[in-house]
Amino acid sequence: MKGLLIKDLRLMKNMGNSLAIILLVAVGMSFYISDMSFIVIYMAIIGTSFTSSTISYDEFDNGNAFLFSLPVSRKDYVLEKYLFAILMCGGGWLLGSVISIVAGAARSGLDPMEGMMTALVLLPVAMCLNVLLVPLRLKFEAEKSRIAQIVIMGGIFVVVIAGTKIAERLGIDLEALGERMPVMSARLGIVVALGVCIALLLLSCHISIKIMERKEF
């Protein structure tokens, strides 16, 4: 697994120019976007997408057939992809958080602690991106997996919008409810969300292992 991780990290090293451009774009957006949480999610999504890129590299020119002729099990391959995805997503989340907190403090005097709490709330959301991305990318080819991701993300967006509209019709002010939530409750919510995220990642990893075991190269 260590060798697989080194391989993927070296692939990222070769994409240094692209990483620098993405970072500059995020910094540039921080001067114009008022909602700093967008930058955090943007960087996390970019980090997660690198996992899909490494899978594409592995599949190129029937590379998986050669890879699995080495002392590498399919389970180890899947576990490494999840570890790499968490590292890349976590790295993107961290960079996005730093950019948003610094920009928020410079532009509007945002309290760094408040910015950090917002970033921590977004961490489970960012990590759960891997729950869908990895199994979809392993199951389908690059183009089909993109279509599947768009459909699923669109479905989630519709559910969120519908839930918001229902809350408005019932007279529930979600923003006011969040502001009244005690700090201790917010911290407990973050811990619970992280626990749910870990459980979903473990389930997703199990599904991905089954997918890889059934694939033929």
Which tens digits make up the pLDDT trace of 121-161?
778 877 887 888 888 888 876 666 666 666 666 665 566 56
**Mean pLDDT in residue range 186-194:** 74
Among 56, 95, 94, 89, which residue's Cα sits nearest to residue 204?
89
Q: What is the pLDDT of residue 35?
A: 67
Residue 54 in contact with residue 8, Cβ under 8 Å?
Answer: yes
Alpha-carbon torsion, ordered 77, 82, 83, 85, to 10 deg: 120
162 pLDDT exceeds 90? no
Q: What is the pLDDT of residue 160?
A: 57
Q: Give me the phi and psi of 181, to 5 degrees please.
A: -65, 125
Q: Is 70 in a helix, a strand, or coil?
A: coil
Q: What is the pLDDT of residue 172?
A: 61
Q: What does the block give as tokens for 31?
A: 């001067």
Q: What is the pLDDT of residue 143?
A: 61
Mean pLDDT of the chain: 77
195 pLDDT exceeds 80? yes
**Local structure of residue 61 (DSSP, 8 states):** G
Q: What is the pLDDT of residue 29?
A: 76
Bigger pLDDT: 79 vs 25? 79
Of the listed ranges 111-115, 148-152, 191-195, the least confidently predicted one is 148-152
Say what the pTM is. 0.77
Q: What does the block give as tokens for 52?
A: 């899909």
- Give the residue carrying structure tokens 């919008």: 161
Of the listed ranges 3-12, 44-53, 154-163, 205-214, the least confidently predicted one is 154-163
Q: What does the block give as tokens for 36?
A: 């700093």
- Give the residue carrying structure tokens 């009244």: 180
Q: What is the pLDDT of residue 207?
A: 92
Q: What is the pLDDT of residue 40?
A: 82
Cα-based distances in Å from 84 to 10, 192, 194: 12, 24, 18
Q: At 164, is the pLDDT very low, low, confident or very high (cuts 50, 70, 90)?
A: low
Distance CA 204, CA 100 (A): 30
Distance CA 13, CA 108 (A): 35
Give the CB-side neighbour count of residue 18, counting CA atoms within 13 A. 11
| Residues shown for the chain | 217
